Structure 1
Amino acid sequence: MARYNGPKTKISRIFGEPILGNGKWLGKNSNPPGQHGEKRKRKTLGEYALQLREKQKAKYTYGILEKQFRKTFDEASRRKGVTGENLIKLLEARLDNTVFRMGIAPSRPAARQLVSHKHIEVNGEVVNVPSFQLKAGDVVTIKEGSKTRTSITSVVRAKNPKFSWIDFNETELKGTFITYPERESVPENIKEQLIVELYSK
């Protein structure tokens, strides 16, 4: 299975929320994709369908395929604490997600591309693995040779102050992953408990 590169609006219409970016096409008259839209859908989803839907939403949101998502869940279940919250923390600590949160890239796919193309350093070393797990205190910077590329620096924006678990200086193009975020600080509308129930079957 390849990574999804199709229309973002289609995925947003499936879940009824802009999980892949701009939601300007989502309105009260937006129907799910397909020839008959909502008419061919069951009015109420069963327990398994709701759990599967939530997992798919999380995978699309963070741009992860099934095998990698399952490995992340297994790691979350091994750690102390609430498995669902651990899962969100691990997803947020991914390098590509952190690059996006810092404002270095306008979207997670763009952040993934920056990392894959070796434009990002962690603690002074180039890291080209988007799923790289950051630890508290790790410093993320744009590689020195890439700082002169306007295609990269022109899209850098100030960090959203809501993301208190990371710090970023847009002048120096340097940021720090301070700590794992608390669940209530992560704005994504994901019901992680449903994912835990799905994998616990």
Structure 2
Amino acid sequence: MARYRGPVEKLERRLGVSLALKGERRLAGKSALEKRPYAPGQHGQRKAKVSEYGLQLREKQKAKFMYGVSEKQFRRLFAEAARREGNTGALLISLLEQRLDNVVYRMGFASTRRFARQLVTHGHILVNGKRVDIPSYRVRAGEKIEIVEKSKENPQIVRAIELTNQTGMVAWVDVEKDKKYGIFTRIPEREEVIIPVEERYIVELYSK
């Protein structure tokens, strides 16, 4: 299954939760989900009973679409989390948080993960001084993430950094906003990652 490229606001309405896919529009309270908090389509306002499988699938879709990964990538990450010792669901979230595009987003250099992915693929990001254009690159604790010199005045990047004054910064990154670089200081604990996903349902789904 390919990565989702359709209308993201319809996707959020269908899943009934904000997935941080619309950046500044979401922060301004102008997202379609706030205006129409029900599923799209003719029968969107009907309350349908959701099966156990439906709940499990919905949680997987939330995580997959939020982090912008394909079905194949998601399965690989889950398989890796399942092989490790510890809580599989928590490990899965940790692996997703270590993706380079997500770290760029967490550092406030992009207002959405989708834009962060574009910055990475278009060569605007350095990791420890070297250009890395692979969004799935796994960032390790202590690595330095930096905007390339020629892109530091990009209006979208500048605006995204300004928005962090409103949204705040997560505890596991240390960012120098003026110099547009940051350090991924550590892998976050699951309880620190505030996302609308109940990963236990994902574990149940893949454990069948």
TM-score when scaled to structure 1?
Answer: 0.91
Question: Is 1:91 paired with 2:100?
Answer: no
- 2:187 aligned to 180, 184, 195, which one? 180
SS of residue in 1 equivalent to 2:160? coil
Q: What does 1:1-201 correspond to in 2, within 5 Å?
A: 1-19=1-19, 20-21=21-22, 22=26, 24-27=31-34, 30-39=37-46, 43-157=48-162, 158=164, 161-201=168-208
SS of residue in 1 equivalent to 2:5? coil
In terms of fraction of residues, the more helix-rich structure is 2
Instruction: Check 1:30–1:146 CA distance in 2 against 1; reply closer, same or farther (3 A cut).
Output: closer
Distance in 2, Cα, partners of 1:48 & 1:6: 24
* Identity rate, percent: 50
Q: Does 1 or 2 have the higher relative contact order (CA < 8 Å, sep 6+)?
A: 2
Distance in 1, Cα, partners of 2:147 & 2:205: 38
SS of residue in 2 equivalent to 1:176? strand
Q: Output the aligned Cα RMSD.
A: 1.9
Hey, which bits of structure 1, 4+ residues long, moved more than 6 A? none
Query: How far is 1:91 from its partner?
Result: 0.5
User: After superposition, what is the alpha-carbon deviation per residue over 1:12-43, rounded to whole angstroms, capped at 9, x for unaligned?
Assistant: 1111111123263334863212222143x6x3
Q: Which runs of 5+ in 1 are unaligned?
A: none
Distance in 1, Cα, partners of 2:137 & 2:45: 39
How many residues align? The count is: 199
Instruction: Check 1:5–1:29 CA distance in 2 against 1; reply closer, same or farther (3 A cut).
Output: closer
For 2:6, give the aligned amino acid. G
TM-score when scaled to structure 2?
Answer: 0.88
Q: Which runs of 5+ in 2 are unaligned?
A: none
Instruction: Check 1:14–1:139 CA distance in 2 against 1; reply closer, same or farther (3 A cut).
Output: same
Instruction: Check 1:148–1:25 CA distance in 2 against 1; reply closer, same or farther (3 A cut).
Output: closer
